[in-house]
Structure 1
Amino acid sequence: MQSPLPRVPEQPAPTPADSVPRRAEIEARLTTELASVVAGARRRAHRDGDAQIDTAHLLHSLLETDPEVRAAFDSGAQVARVLGYLVQRSIGYGLRWQGTVEDSGAVPLVRKQAVTGWSPPAVAAMGHALNRAAVRGEPRAGGPDLLAALAADRVCRAVEVLERAGVDTRSLAGRLSAASRQAS
Protein backbone atom coordinates (compact mmCIF):
# COMPACT_ATOMS: atom_id res chain seq x y z
CA MET A 1 0.00 0.00 0.00
CA GLN A 2 1.39 3.37 -0.97
CA SER A 3 1.51 6.04 1.67
CA PRO A 4 -0.43 9.19 0.80
CA LEU A 5 1.45 12.24 -0.38
CA PRO A 6 2.33 14.69 2.39
CA ARG A 7 -0.06 17.63 2.57
CA VAL A 8 0.13 21.21 3.64
CA PRO A 9 -0.94 20.89 7.30
CA GLU A 10 -4.49 21.70 8.32
CA GLN A 11 -5.01 24.65 10.62
CA PRO A 12 -6.05 24.46 14.26
CA ALA A 13 -9.23 26.25 15.26
CA PRO A 14 -8.49 29.70 16.71
CA THR A 15 -9.88 30.88 20.00
CA PRO A 16 -12.93 33.17 19.82
CA ALA A 17 -10.82 36.14 20.89
CA ASP A 18 -8.73 35.90 17.75
CA SER A 19 -9.89 38.03 14.85
CA VAL A 20 -7.83 36.09 12.32
CA PRO A 21 -10.18 34.21 10.01
CA ARG A 22 -9.84 30.44 9.97
CA ARG A 23 -9.04 28.70 6.71
CA ALA A 24 -12.57 27.27 6.43
CA GLU A 25 -14.06 30.74 7.02
CA ILE A 26 -11.79 32.23 4.38
CA GLU A 27 -12.50 29.59 1.78
CA ALA A 28 -16.27 29.73 2.34
CA ARG A 29 -16.25 33.42 1.36
CA LEU A 30 -14.34 33.10 -1.92
CA THR A 31 -15.73 33.06 -5.43
CA THR A 32 -15.34 29.75 -7.23
CA GLU A 33 -12.50 31.28 -9.24
CA LEU A 34 -10.65 32.51 -6.17
CA ALA A 35 -11.16 29.16 -4.41
CA SER A 36 -9.45 27.62 -7.44
CA VAL A 37 -6.59 30.11 -7.03
CA VAL A 38 -6.16 29.06 -3.39
CA ALA A 39 -6.17 25.38 -4.37
CA GLY A 40 -3.52 26.12 -6.99
CA ALA A 41 -1.42 28.03 -4.46
CA ARG A 42 -1.69 25.11 -2.05
CA ARG A 43 -0.52 22.67 -4.75
CA ARG A 44 2.31 25.02 -5.71
CA ALA A 45 3.47 25.32 -2.07
CA HIS A 46 3.42 21.54 -1.72
CA ARG A 47 5.26 21.02 -5.02
CA ASP A 48 7.88 23.63 -4.04
CA GLY A 49 8.46 21.91 -0.70
CA ASP A 50 7.15 24.89 1.25
CA ALA A 51 5.27 24.32 4.51
CA GLN A 52 3.02 27.33 3.95
CA ILE A 53 1.11 29.07 1.22
CA ASP A 54 2.74 32.50 0.95
CA THR A 55 1.78 35.64 -0.93
CA ALA A 56 4.00 34.73 -3.90
CA HIS A 57 2.17 31.39 -4.26
CA LEU A 58 -1.13 33.28 -4.24
CA LEU A 59 0.13 35.81 -6.79
CA HIS A 60 1.43 33.07 -9.08
CA SER A 61 -1.85 31.18 -9.01
CA LEU A 62 -3.85 34.42 -9.48
CA LEU A 63 -1.90 35.36 -12.60
CA GLU A 64 -2.21 31.89 -14.08
CA THR A 65 -5.96 31.56 -13.61
CA ASP A 66 -7.71 34.93 -13.43
CA PRO A 67 -8.08 37.06 -16.59
CA GLU A 68 -9.45 39.99 -14.51
CA VAL A 69 -6.23 40.02 -12.51
CA ARG A 70 -4.05 39.94 -15.63
CA ALA A 71 -6.11 42.82 -17.09
CA ALA A 72 -5.29 44.97 -14.03
CA PHE A 73 -1.65 45.28 -15.13
CA ASP A 74 -0.29 47.94 -17.47
CA SER A 75 0.62 45.42 -20.18
CA GLY A 76 0.91 41.78 -21.09
CA ALA A 77 4.68 42.21 -21.03
CA GLN A 78 4.47 43.26 -17.39
CA VAL A 79 2.45 40.12 -16.55
CA ALA A 80 5.03 38.01 -18.40
CA ARG A 81 7.88 39.56 -16.39
CA VAL A 82 6.06 38.87 -13.10
CA LEU A 83 5.38 35.28 -14.14
CA GLY A 84 9.04 34.94 -15.14
CA TYR A 85 10.18 35.83 -11.61
CA LEU A 86 7.60 33.49 -10.10
CA VAL A 87 8.63 30.58 -12.34
CA GLN A 88 12.30 31.16 -11.51
CA ARG A 89 11.39 31.03 -7.85
CA SER A 90 9.41 27.81 -8.23
CA ILE A 91 12.30 26.03 -9.96
CA GLY A 92 14.85 27.19 -7.41
CA TYR A 93 16.44 30.17 -9.17
CA GLY A 94 16.15 33.88 -8.56
CA LEU A 95 14.43 34.87 -5.35
CA ARG A 96 15.60 32.43 -2.66
CA TRP A 97 12.58 31.74 -0.49
CA GLN A 98 12.04 28.02 -0.94
CA GLY A 99 11.62 26.27 2.37
CA THR A 100 11.46 29.51 4.34
CA VAL A 101 8.49 31.01 6.12
CA GLU A 102 7.17 34.36 4.95
CA ASP A 103 6.76 36.73 7.87
CA SER A 104 6.84 40.37 6.97
CA GLY A 105 6.37 41.49 10.55
CA ALA A 106 3.70 43.87 9.29
CA VAL A 107 0.88 41.95 10.93
CA PRO A 108 1.58 41.42 14.65
CA LEU A 109 -1.99 40.26 15.33
CA VAL A 110 -1.59 37.39 12.90
CA ARG A 111 1.69 36.41 14.53
CA LYS A 112 -0.22 35.69 17.77
CA GLN A 113 -2.26 32.96 16.12
CA ALA A 114 -0.85 31.75 12.86
CA VAL A 115 -3.04 29.74 10.54
CA THR A 116 -1.10 26.54 9.95
CA GLY A 117 -0.39 26.05 6.28
CA TRP A 118 -0.55 29.79 5.48
CA SER A 119 2.05 32.49 6.03
CA PRO A 120 0.87 35.38 8.24
CA PRO A 121 0.97 37.85 5.30
CA ALA A 122 -1.09 35.42 3.17
CA VAL A 123 -3.73 35.19 5.90
CA ALA A 124 -3.74 38.98 6.23
CA ALA A 125 -4.11 39.40 2.44
CA MET A 126 -7.06 37.01 2.36
CA GLY A 127 -8.65 38.87 5.27
CA HIS A 128 -8.21 42.20 3.46
CA ALA A 129 -9.65 40.70 0.26
CA LEU A 130 -12.72 39.53 2.18
CA ASN A 131 -13.09 42.99 3.76
CA ARG A 132 -12.87 44.68 0.34
CA ALA A 133 -15.69 42.47 -0.94
CA ALA A 134 -17.79 43.15 2.17
CA VAL A 135 -17.38 46.92 1.75
CA ARG A 136 -18.84 46.56 -1.75
CA GLY A 137 -21.69 44.50 -0.32
CA GLU A 138 -20.43 41.33 -1.98
CA PRO A 139 -20.62 38.07 -0.01
CA ARG A 140 -17.53 36.63 -1.71
CA ALA A 141 -14.06 37.95 -2.54
CA GLY A 142 -12.65 37.66 -6.04
CA GLY A 143 -9.24 37.75 -7.69
CA PRO A 144 -9.02 41.55 -7.99
CA ASP A 145 -9.75 41.83 -4.25
CA LEU A 146 -6.83 39.55 -3.46
CA LEU A 147 -4.51 41.29 -5.93
CA ALA A 148 -5.34 44.66 -4.34
CA ALA A 149 -4.63 43.26 -0.88
CA LEU A 150 -1.32 41.79 -2.02
CA ALA A 151 -0.24 45.00 -3.77
CA ALA A 152 -1.07 47.07 -0.69
CA ASP A 153 1.20 45.05 1.66
CA ARG A 154 4.50 46.89 1.23
CA VAL A 155 6.69 44.12 2.65
CA CYS A 156 5.21 40.81 1.44
CA ARG A 157 6.89 38.48 -1.04
CA ALA A 158 4.28 39.18 -3.72
CA VAL A 159 5.18 42.88 -3.67
CA GLU A 160 8.88 42.04 -3.88
CA VAL A 161 8.18 39.99 -7.04
CA LEU A 162 5.92 42.67 -8.52
CA GLU A 163 8.42 45.45 -7.92
CA ARG A 164 11.37 43.44 -9.28
CA ALA A 165 9.29 42.98 -12.43
CA GLY A 166 8.80 46.75 -12.71
CA VAL A 167 5.25 46.98 -11.41
CA ASP A 168 4.37 50.16 -9.52
CA THR A 169 2.50 48.42 -6.69
CA ARG A 170 1.17 51.63 -5.16
CA SER A 171 -0.35 52.60 -8.50
CA LEU A 172 -1.74 49.08 -9.00
CA ALA A 173 -3.32 49.08 -5.53
CA GLY A 174 -4.76 52.56 -6.18
CA ARG A 175 -6.29 51.53 -9.52
CA LEU A 176 -7.84 48.44 -7.98
CA SER A 177 -9.24 50.46 -5.06
CA ALA A 178 -10.73 53.02 -7.44
CA ALA A 179 -12.29 50.25 -9.54
CA SER A 180 -13.72 48.67 -6.39
CA ARG A 181 -15.26 52.00 -5.28
CA GLN A 182 -16.84 52.45 -8.70
CA ALA A 183 -18.31 48.94 -8.55
CA SER A 184 -20.04 49.64 -5.22
Structure 2
Amino acid sequence: MQHPIPRQQSGEHPGVDNDAALSDELAAVVAGARRRAVRDGDRQVDTAHLLHSLLEHDPDVRAVFDSEPQLARLLGYLVQRSIGYGLRWQTAVEDSGTVPVVSGVPGRSPLAAAAMAYAAERAARRGDGRARGLDLLAGIVVDPRSRAVEVLERAGVEAPELFLRIEHGARECVEGFEAGC
Protein backbone atom coordinates (compact mmCIF):
# COMPACT_ATOMS: atom_id res chain seq x y z
CA MET A 1 0.00 0.00 0.00
CA GLN A 2 1.33 3.41 -0.94
CA HIS A 3 1.62 5.93 1.89
CA PRO A 4 -0.83 8.80 1.16
CA ILE A 5 1.50 11.43 2.60
CA PRO A 6 4.10 12.65 0.12
CA ARG A 7 7.69 12.17 1.18
CA GLN A 8 9.91 15.21 1.50
CA GLN A 9 12.77 14.94 -0.96
CA SER A 10 16.39 15.74 -0.28
CA GLY A 11 17.14 19.35 -1.05
CA GLU A 12 13.45 20.21 -1.26
CA HIS A 13 13.48 22.63 1.67
CA PRO A 14 15.83 25.57 1.65
CA GLY A 15 17.59 26.50 4.86
CA VAL A 16 15.83 29.82 5.24
CA ASP A 17 13.43 31.16 7.80
CA ASN A 18 10.02 31.26 6.13
CA ASP A 19 8.28 33.51 8.67
CA ALA A 20 7.74 36.17 6.00
CA ALA A 21 5.50 33.72 4.12
CA LEU A 22 3.15 33.24 7.10
CA SER A 23 -0.32 34.65 7.59
CA ASP A 24 -0.71 36.84 10.67
CA GLU A 25 -2.58 34.01 12.39
CA LEU A 26 0.16 31.50 11.65
CA ALA A 27 2.85 33.94 12.78
CA ALA A 28 1.03 34.05 16.14
CA VAL A 29 1.04 30.23 16.21
CA VAL A 30 4.81 30.14 15.62
CA ALA A 31 5.38 32.76 18.34
CA GLY A 32 3.26 30.66 20.71
CA ALA A 33 5.32 27.56 19.87
CA ARG A 34 8.52 29.51 20.61
CA ARG A 35 7.16 30.59 24.00
CA ARG A 36 6.10 27.02 24.76
CA ALA A 37 9.55 25.66 23.90
CA VAL A 38 11.24 28.23 26.15
CA ARG A 39 8.79 27.55 28.98
CA ASP A 40 9.30 23.79 28.60
CA GLY A 41 13.08 24.22 28.76
CA ASP A 42 13.58 22.89 25.23
CA ARG A 43 16.44 24.14 23.10
CA GLN A 44 14.39 24.22 19.92
CA VAL A 45 10.83 24.51 18.69
CA ASP A 46 9.85 21.07 17.47
CA THR A 47 6.82 19.76 15.58
CA ALA A 48 4.97 18.92 18.80
CA HIS A 49 5.32 22.56 19.96
CA LEU A 50 3.93 23.68 16.61
CA LEU A 51 1.05 21.20 16.80
CA HIS A 52 0.15 22.29 20.34
CA SER A 53 0.14 25.95 19.35
CA LEU A 54 -1.89 25.25 16.19
CA LEU A 55 -4.55 23.46 18.21
CA GLU A 56 -4.75 26.32 20.68
CA HIS A 57 -4.95 29.11 18.11
CA ASP A 58 -6.51 27.86 14.88
CA PRO A 59 -10.17 26.76 14.66
CA ASP A 60 -9.65 25.48 11.08
CA VAL A 61 -6.99 23.09 12.37
CA ARG A 62 -9.22 21.87 15.20
CA ALA A 63 -12.03 21.29 12.67
CA VAL A 64 -10.11 18.60 10.74
CA PHE A 65 -10.10 16.23 13.70
CA ASP A 66 -12.75 13.50 13.88
CA SER A 67 -14.37 14.43 17.16
CA GLU A 68 -14.22 16.52 20.29
CA PRO A 69 -13.10 13.52 22.40
CA GLN A 70 -10.24 12.87 19.98
CA LEU A 71 -9.21 16.52 20.13
CA ALA A 72 -9.44 16.54 23.94
CA ARG A 73 -7.29 13.39 24.15
CA LEU A 74 -4.70 14.97 21.83
CA LEU A 75 -4.57 18.18 23.87
CA GLY A 76 -4.23 16.06 27.01
CA TYR A 77 -1.16 14.31 25.59
CA LEU A 78 0.35 17.63 24.56
CA VAL A 79 -0.20 19.11 28.02
CA GLN A 80 1.35 16.00 29.59
CA ARG A 81 4.33 16.49 27.32
CA SER A 82 4.73 20.09 28.43
CA ILE A 83 4.80 19.05 32.07
CA GLY A 84 7.20 16.15 31.72
CA TYR A 85 6.00 13.68 29.09
CA GLY A 86 8.60 15.02 26.66
CA LEU A 87 11.55 15.08 29.05
CA ARG A 88 13.28 12.34 27.09
CA TRP A 89 13.27 14.67 24.08
CA GLN A 90 14.87 17.68 25.74
CA THR A 91 18.46 16.76 25.02
CA ALA A 92 18.02 15.56 21.45
CA VAL A 93 17.37 17.36 18.20
CA GLU A 94 14.20 16.26 16.43
CA ASP A 95 15.46 14.69 13.22
CA SER A 96 13.95 11.53 11.83
CA GLY A 97 16.58 11.11 9.15
CA THR A 98 13.96 11.08 6.37
CA VAL A 99 14.37 14.76 5.54
CA PRO A 100 17.56 16.72 5.02
CA VAL A 101 18.89 18.64 7.98
CA VAL A 102 17.77 22.21 7.45
CA SER A 103 20.43 24.61 8.59
CA GLY A 104 20.22 28.34 9.02
CA VAL A 105 16.94 28.29 10.97
CA PRO A 106 18.03 28.91 14.54
CA GLY A 107 15.75 27.78 17.30
CA ARG A 108 13.87 25.17 15.27
CA SER A 109 14.41 21.46 14.94
CA PRO A 110 15.20 20.30 11.41
CA LEU A 111 11.71 18.78 11.13
CA ALA A 112 9.99 21.94 12.41
CA ALA A 113 11.96 23.99 9.86
CA ALA A 114 11.03 21.51 7.11
CA ALA A 115 7.35 21.69 8.15
CA MET A 116 7.47 25.49 7.95
CA ALA A 117 9.06 25.32 4.49
CA TYR A 118 6.47 22.74 3.40
CA ALA A 119 3.67 25.07 4.59
CA ALA A 120 5.07 27.95 2.54
CA GLU A 121 5.44 25.73 -0.54
CA ARG A 122 1.89 24.37 -0.10
CA ALA A 123 0.52 27.91 0.09
CA ALA A 124 2.47 28.88 -3.04
CA ARG A 125 1.09 25.86 -4.95
CA ARG A 126 -2.39 27.03 -3.95
CA GLY A 127 -1.55 30.50 -5.27
CA ASP A 128 -1.54 32.10 -1.83
CA GLY A 129 1.44 34.15 -0.70
CA ARG A 130 0.83 33.34 2.97
CA ALA A 131 0.83 29.94 4.64
CA ARG A 132 -2.09 29.13 6.92
CA GLY A 133 -2.59 26.76 9.84
CA LEU A 134 -3.73 23.84 7.70
CA ASP A 135 -0.64 24.26 5.52
CA LEU A 136 1.55 23.90 8.59
CA LEU A 137 -0.47 20.97 9.91
CA ALA A 138 0.05 19.22 6.56
CA GLY A 139 3.78 19.93 6.82
CA ILE A 140 3.87 18.56 10.36
CA VAL A 141 2.27 15.22 9.49
CA VAL A 142 4.36 14.61 6.34
CA ASP A 143 7.14 12.88 8.27
CA PRO A 144 5.75 9.84 10.09
CA ARG A 145 8.61 9.89 12.62
CA SER A 146 8.16 13.46 13.84
CA ARG A 147 7.39 14.12 17.48
CA ALA A 148 4.01 15.58 16.54
CA VAL A 149 3.06 12.41 14.67
CA GLU A 150 4.14 10.35 17.69
CA VAL A 151 1.84 12.42 19.90
CA LEU A 152 -0.98 12.19 17.34
CA GLU A 153 -0.66 8.40 17.23
CA ARG A 154 -0.69 8.12 21.03
CA ALA A 155 -3.96 10.08 20.97
CA GLY A 156 -5.43 7.72 18.36
CA VAL A 157 -5.07 10.03 15.36
CA GLU A 158 -3.76 8.41 12.19
CA ALA A 159 -1.47 10.90 10.43
CA PRO A 160 -2.17 9.59 6.88
CA GLU A 161 -5.93 9.92 7.43
CA LEU A 162 -5.46 13.40 8.91
CA PHE A 163 -3.38 14.42 5.89
CA LEU A 164 -6.12 13.20 3.54
CA ARG A 165 -8.76 15.18 5.47
CA ILE A 166 -6.60 18.29 5.17
CA GLU A 167 -6.17 17.73 1.42
CA HIS A 168 -9.86 16.95 0.91
CA GLY A 169 -10.82 20.17 2.70
CA ALA A 170 -8.39 22.16 0.56
CA ARG A 171 -9.90 20.74 -2.64
CA GLU A 172 -13.42 21.58 -1.46
CA CYS A 173 -12.23 25.09 -0.73
CA VAL A 174 -10.81 25.54 -4.23
CA GLU A 175 -13.78 23.90 -5.96
CA GLY A 176 -16.40 25.75 -3.92
CA PHE A 177 -14.62 29.13 -3.78
CA GLU A 178 -15.51 29.33 -0.09
CA ALA A 179 -14.65 32.57 1.65
CA GLY A 180 -11.80 32.50 4.09
CA CYS A 181 -9.94 29.57 2.50
What is the aligned partner in structure 2 of residue 126 from structure 1? 116
CA gap of 1:19–1:122, structure 2 versus 1, over 3 A, is closer
One-letter code aligned to 1:130: A
For the residues of structure 2 that align with 1:125 and 1:94, how far apart are their CA atoms?
20
For the residues of structure 2 that align with 1:115 and 1:18, how far apart are their CA atoms?
15
1:136-175 → structure 2 map (5 Å cutoff): 136-175=126-165
Report how far residue 168 of structure 1 moved: 1.3
What is the aligned partner in structure 1 of residue 16 from structure 2? 22
The unaligned stretches of length 5 or more in structure 1 are: 1-16
One-letter code aligned to 2:139: A
Q: Say what the alpha-carbon RMSD is for the aligned residues.
A: 1.8
CA gap of 1:99–1:44, structure 2 versus 1, over 3 A, is farther
1:53 partnered with 2:45: yes
The unaligned stretches of length 5 or more in structure 2 are: 1-10, 175-181
Task: Please give the TM-score of this superposition, normalised by the length of structure 2.
Answer: 0.84
Conservation of the 8 A alpha-carbon contact between 1:69 and 1:143: yes
1:1-184 → structure 2 map (5 Å cutoff): 20-23=14-17, 26-93=18-85, 96-110=88-102, 113-184=103-174
Report how far residue 149 of structure 1 moved: 1.4
Q: CA deviation digits over 1:37-75, x for unaligned, max 9?
A: 000000001111111100000000000111110001001
CA gap of 1:19–1:108, structure 2 versus 1, over 3 A, is closer
Higher RCO structure (Cα 8 Å, ≥6 apart): 2
For the residues of structure 1 that align with 2:124 and 2:61, how far apart are their CA atoms?
19
Report how far residue 19 of structure 1 moved: 5.2
Conservation of the 8 A alpha-carbon contact between 1:136 and 1:183: no
CA gap of 1:18–1:155, structure 2 versus 1, over 3 A, is closer
Q: How many residues align?
A: 164
Percent identical among aligned pairs is 62
For the residues of structure 2 that align with 1:97 and 1:19, how far apart are their CA atoms?
24
What is the aligned partner in structure 2 of residue 3 from structure 1? none
For the residues of structure 1 that align with 2:131 and 2:55, how far apart are their CA atoms?
16
CA gap of 1:27–1:174, structure 2 versus 1, over 3 A, is same
